[in-house]
Amino acid sequence: MPSSTTTTPPTTDQRSSLLDQLRIDRRDARPERSRLLWLGSSAAAACAVGVAAWFLLTPASDGAIGVAAAVPIVPAVPATSAGLPSTGSILDASGYVVARRQATVSAKITGKVIAVLIEEGQRVEAGEVVARLDDTNARAQVAHAAALLEQQRAGLTATTVALANAEPGYARNREQFARAFISAQAFDTAQAAYDATLAAVEVAARGVDVAEASLALAQRALDDTVVRAPFGGIVTVKAAQEGEMVSPMSAGGGFTRTGIGTIVDMDSLEVEVDVSENFINRVHAGARVAITLNAYPEDSVGGRVIAIIPTADRAKATVKVRVGLDAKDARLLPEMGARVAFLASDGARADPSATRAEDHSIASSP
């Protein structure tokens, strides 16, 4: 009969001993990891030193061994556009290019347009014909005035002949009256007739003057049917077409034009900026400026302050400043946006933080 074996459960001490055998002791690994990290750092530092030494000891292009090529250090110079001083800006403001000579050309009389001789971008000279109006009625008035003038001149001729015929008779009657051959009543009648003829000549002469003035007026009305450029410039707007009615006054509602076109003198271009009244004391007439167009931000144009308009805008608390250009620039066009930097004078030190007045809003004072 086989004998049965009884298993005795382990005691608490035996369990603790078994758990201690299964635990991993990491105390010996920490020094090893620290040593590996130190070795890695040392190797990286050695590599960096070796690379730096290689760069330093590489022969220069001139054949020198072990000496690095000397690179000259040039101090930085602020980039400035040609013709502009290198002084700093004490105030920046934004504005627009405007033309001092700009006119919307219109007819002096109301009439129908029969020809428009301009186009946008066309160059016109002073006195050049830009449009013609219907001159049918004006020509008829000129012909009528000319006929009246001829009539008055014929009347003057007739009265002059009558006066010439009356003079011998009047002289004879005067001589006879002096010798008492005729009565005083007869002489008075002869003298009255002569005086009337003389007055008629004077009236006829004045009638000729009136007729000549009427003819000149009619001719002026005919000339007014031709619209001419008041000055030389570039046409920027063509406002009327053939067949439309034009008038110097706003009559006829939207069916009547008040102008033929707009002409701008490009030689009169300048820049107008609004400067805050808080900083207007930094601006004076004749001060140098640098003008930068928004369309060409990489270039600047030199200029000077022409004038400070002696009035302020209550709503915006700004003062308008006119700025002129030193030289003509074909890139400038009316109503272009521009930024103006007011430069410090030669004897004044520029403020490193210039006040900006972009879009008519002024930053806080530096």
Mean pLDDT score of the chain, rounded to an integer? Answer: 79
- 365 or 180: which leads in pLDDT: 180
Task: Indicate if the pLDDT at residue 136 is higher than 70.
Answer: yes
pLDDT of residue 81: 45
- Please state which of the ranges 93-97, 122-126, 354-358 shows the lowest mean pLDDT: 354-358
Higher pLDDT, 32 or 167: 167
pLDDT digits (tens, 9 = 90+) for 206-263: 999 999 999 999 999 999 999 999 999 999 999 999 999 998 876 555 667 888 999 9
pTM (global) more than 0.75: no
- For residue 283, pLDDT over 50 is answered with yes
Q: How much is the pLDDT for 187?
A: 84
pLDDT band at 32 (very low <50, low <70, confident <90, very high): low
Predicted pLDDT at 303: 94
Residues, the chain, total?
A: 366
pLDDT at 349 over 80: no
pLDDT reported for residue 177: 81
Q: Identify the pLDDT of residue 310.
A: 93
Which pLDDT does position 60 carry in this prediction? 44
48 or 85: which carries more pLDDT confidence?
48
Residue whose tokens read 């520029």: 350
Distance, in Å, from the CA atom of 244 to the CA atom of 263, rounded to the nearest integer, reads 20
Q: Name the region of 63 (left: φ>0; alpha: ψ -120 to 50; beta: rest).
A: left
Chain segment 34-47, per-residue pLDDT in tens: 555 656 666 666 66
Q: Which of 154, 125, 136, 149 is nearest to 233 (CA)?
A: 125
Q: How confident is the model at residue 30 (pLDDT cuts 50, 70, 90)?
A: low
| DSSP character string of 319-350 | EEEEEEESS--TT--TT-EEEEEEEPPTTSPP
Asked if pLDDT for residue 92 goes beyond 70, the answer is: yes
pLDDT over 50 (residue 340)? yes
> pLDDT, tens digit, for every residue of 5-18?
445 565 666 666 66
Report CA 289 to chain centroid distance, whole Å.
17
Does residue 299 surpass a pLDDT of 50? yes
Model confidence at 55: pLDDT above 80: no
